[in-house]
Amino acid sequence: MVTLIKDFKDNETIYQQFVISSVTKSTSTSGKPYVRLTLKDISGTITGVKWNVEDEELRLCENGNIVLINGVLETYKNNLQVNINFIAPVKENEIEQFRFVKSAPLSKDELYQQLNYYLGLIENETLHKITSELIKDNLPAFLTYPAAISVHHDFEGGLAYHTLSMAKIGEFLSKQYKFIDKDLLISGILLHDIGKTVEFEGDIAYRYSLKGKLLGHISIMCSMIENKAKELHLENDEKIVLLEHLILSHHGEYEFGSPILPQTAEAILLNLIDNVDSKMEIVNKALNDTQKGEYTAKIFALDNRILYKE
């Protein structure tokens, strides 16, 4: 029987594999090093704490590493966590993939078919050409990578699934608001997160690459557009500047990582669509882990609020 995080109970002893999705290294009042880890499997996450951590264990505690944990489950401040006894490495051929590989609701073939449909909606020659070429350059990773390491659509194919969900919303809203440039909006949606194919790296367990940490997917994507536009001799077309603006502003606020605020109707709408789809996936994930008639745990990405499941 496979035991997953969602099935953990107080006072149980565990001995199993986890992906480390975040690490906080610190020193206790006695001067000894300790780590606080966010441990993850396909069912959710749990906090793990290792006091008096050994040097070898400390080296294993990096984002994206798959480790073997022995510890005892205990309730702390109304939340279950793991009091870790030891942390050990896991050889690549011993990784229990069934614990970690969660896939999008659609197959890669279905995602690819939908992708071609939305590319077909782009009538402007410049936007169709650059969008098609950039997707072709990054297609395998685009159909495989998650949309985020842990917050939303954090599963295999999540990047494409999130993007295509947004495209469906964008197609509908472009009919509702006739003044919207549909071609520009759909191009911006399809390309807005493709920089994550460079920002992330890994296979079963994804982590931020060096470029991801130092540059981020927004600037990576903007560079991709610049380079491809020059390659296709499109750099002087205003549509390229407008498309770059959508990429640079799609997080909506400086504090959320956008170097510029949305200044076109399409940029405002792209930010709103991105926010809706990512937030609703966060809600979906939290409710899936909650029994009917109960409240979710605090949801960090929603300002630590809790939600009721009817």
Q: List, for residues 202-236, the tens digit of each pLDDT value.
A: 777 778 889 999 999 999 999 999 999 999 999 99
**Can you read off the two tokens belonging to residue 188?**
């911006």
The pLDDT score that the predictor gives to residue 140 is: 92
What pLDDT is attached to residue 194? 95
Contact, 205 vs 187, CB < 8 A?
A: no
Q: Read off the tokens for 67.
A: 């480790």
> CA distances (Å), 102 to each of 45, 56, 154, in order?
14, 30, 8
CA 166 to chain centre: 15
- b (16+ CB within 10 A) / e for 59-83: ebbebbbbbbbebebeeeeeebbbe
Specify the DSSP class assigned to residue 297.
P
CA distance 25 to 45: 18
23-70: per-residue pLDDT in tens?
998 888 888 888 999 998 888 889 999 998 888 888 888 888 899 999
Model confidence band, residue 148 (pLDDT cutoffs 50, 70, 90): confident
The percent of residues above 70 in pLDDT, for the chain, comes to 99
What is the phi/psi pair of residue 123, to 5°? -90, -30
End-to-end CA distance of the chain, in Å?
30
pLDDT number for residue 1: 52
- Torsion over CA: 187, 192, 197, 203 (sign): negative
Q: Exposed, middle or buried, 16 (CB in 10 Å: 0-12/13-18/19+)? A: middle
Residue 177 makes CB contacts below 8 A (sequence gap 6+) with 265, 269
DSSP type of residue 84: E
Q: How long, in residues, is the chain?
A: 310
Q: How confident is the model at residue 285 (pLDDT cuts 50, 70, 90)?
A: confident
Cα–Cα distance, 193 to 49 (Å, whole number): 33
Rg (CA), the chain: 21
Can you state the angle between helices 182-191 and 158-176, rounded to 10 degrees? 170
**pLDDT of amino acid 300:** 82
Q: How far apart are CA 41 and CA 18, in angstroms?
A: 6
Question: What domains, with CATH codes, occur in the chain?
Answer: 5-99 (2.40.50.140), 108-286 (no CATH)
pTM for this prediction: 0.77
Position 151 confidence tier, pLDDT thresholds 50, 70, 90: low
pLDDT the model gives residue 177: 96
- Alpha carbon distances (Å) from 309 to 12, 103, 285, 287: 27, 24, 12, 6
Whole-number pLDDT of residue 301: 80
Q: Per-residue confidence at 2, pLDDT binned at 50, 70, 90?
A: low
